[in-house]
A = this chain, B = another copy of it.
Amino acid sequence: MNDPVRVTVTGAAGQVAYSLLFSIASGDMLGDDQPVILQLLDIPETFSVLEGVSMELEDAAYPLLAGVTLHDDAERAFAGADYALLVGAKPRGPGMERKDLLEDNAAIFVANGQALEAVASHDVRVVVVGNPANTNALIVLGNAPRLAAHQVTAMTRLDHNRALAQLARHTGEAVARIRRLTVWGNHSATLYPDLSHALVGDRAAVELASPEWRTAQFEPAVQQRGAAVIKARGKSSAGSAAQAIVDHMRDWVLGTPPDEWVSMSVLSDGSYGIAEGIFYSFPCRCANGRFEIVQGLSIDEMSRQRMTATEQELLDERSVVAHLLP
């Protein structure tokens, strides 16, 4: 059995965290031989809820759960953190523009970045989930100069998984038989789920999915899936988001399956002509605890247009928060 690692979760009193924490404690994220200490952060008003969650985690009697600590102070919550799951953010209110959301949430992620800089483990790995996730990740990295770019990611795995599910449903094939799908760009309505290189069993996805279906059905279904879940369930995605966080971290830490890749938002290094200095979702392979952007994929005109549109949105978002960046 390994020594315990410290996993800090922000927004820990919220719905996504409620689905997530039990899964982490049961070993789904880091494996069956990795004990964890959960360091839970949320605002003081939620302290009683957080205590209740902590009681329930204790009551689940997880052999791998080596401790739970509760915090309303970021510098304590991130102390020694090996993994930081930044779930907490203000939700978008009615009539609120994305720009307002950006500014409201920027302060939270400045504070997260500063706390990571001050007290986290030197090789902490960070995933930003709270929206706007990509630009929040940029703010975190900008406020934690000690961290290398390869230590910070934003989550587009939920979009990736949603795209897998839509393609599986359309083709009647099991989701486990679909590979090499990519979500490019921003975790927002401009994201581009790309089937160009995807395989459904042994066949190219493009043989099974017409351009019309891709444009008129598939892309909007993936882009608007969050809203559709809210409409049906009356609440935003929590269980599926939690599973995507687990998938994102597990693959990052334990490696992607052979001959497969996943979508992760990482700091652009200029791959595929995407501007450097934004967090952009790329196809990534992971091994030995490191991700690498898959190189050399052909990009057709249709893909290029969409990749550029979502890139532009990220550049616009960056300009809104430029004063918070180095």
Interface residues, chain A, with chain B CB atoms under 8 Å away:
18-19, 21-23, 26, 28, 48-49, 51-53, 55-63, 65-66, 158, 161-162, 164-165, 168-169, 174-176, 225, 228-235, 237-240, 242-244
A58 to B175, CA, bound (A): 9
Q: Are B49 and A232 in contact (CB under 8 A)?
A: yes
By a CB distance below 8 angstroms, the chain B residues around A63 are 174-176
Q: Are A243 and B161 in contact (CB under 8 A)?
A: no
A157 nearest in chain B by CB position: B61
| Min distance, Cβ A28 to any Cβ of chain B, angstroms | 6
A175 nearest in chain B by CB position: B61
Q: Are A60 and B234 in contact (CB under 8 A)?
A: no
A51 to B168, CA, bound (A): 18
User: How many copies of the chain does the oligomer comprise?
Assistant: 2
22 example contacts (A-B, Cβ-Cβ < 8 A) are as follows A19-B22, A21-B239, A22-B239, A22-B243, A23-B23, A48-B233, A49-B233, A51-B232, A51-B233, A52-B229, A53-B233, A56-B237, A59-B162, A59-B237, A60-B161, A60-B243, A61-B164, A61-B168, A61-B175, A63-B174, A63-B175, A66-B174
Cβ-defined partner of A61 (8 Å) among B21, B23, B28, B161 = B161
Most central of A21, A52, A60, A228 by chain B CB within 10 Å: A60
A63 to B56, CA, bound (A): 28
A299 to B233, CA, bound (A): 50
By a CB distance below 8 angstroms, the chain B residues around A243 are 22, 26, 60, 62
By a CB distance below 8 angstroms, the chain B residues around A238 are 18, 56
A176 nearest in chain B by CB position: B63
A60 to B245, CA, bound (A): 10
Cβ-defined partner of A169 (8 Å) among B58, B162, B235, B240 = B58
By a CB distance below 8 angstroms, the chain B residues around A21 are 239
Given A232-B49, A233-B49, A234-B49, are A175 and B244 also a contact pair (CB < 8 Å)? no
A234 nearest in chain B by CB position: B49
Q: Are B60 and A239 in contact (CB under 8 A)?
A: yes
By a CB distance below 8 angstroms, the chain B residues around A234 are 48-49, 52
Given A22-B19, A26-B28, A49-B233, are A239 and B164 also a contact pair (CB < 8 Å)? no
Given A22-B19, A28-B26, A232-B51, are A244 and B60 also a contact pair (CB < 8 Å)? yes
Cβ-defined partner of A240 (8 Å) among B51, B59, B228 = B59
A167 nearest in chain B by CB position: B61
| Min distance, Cβ A246 to any Cβ of chain B, angstroms | 8
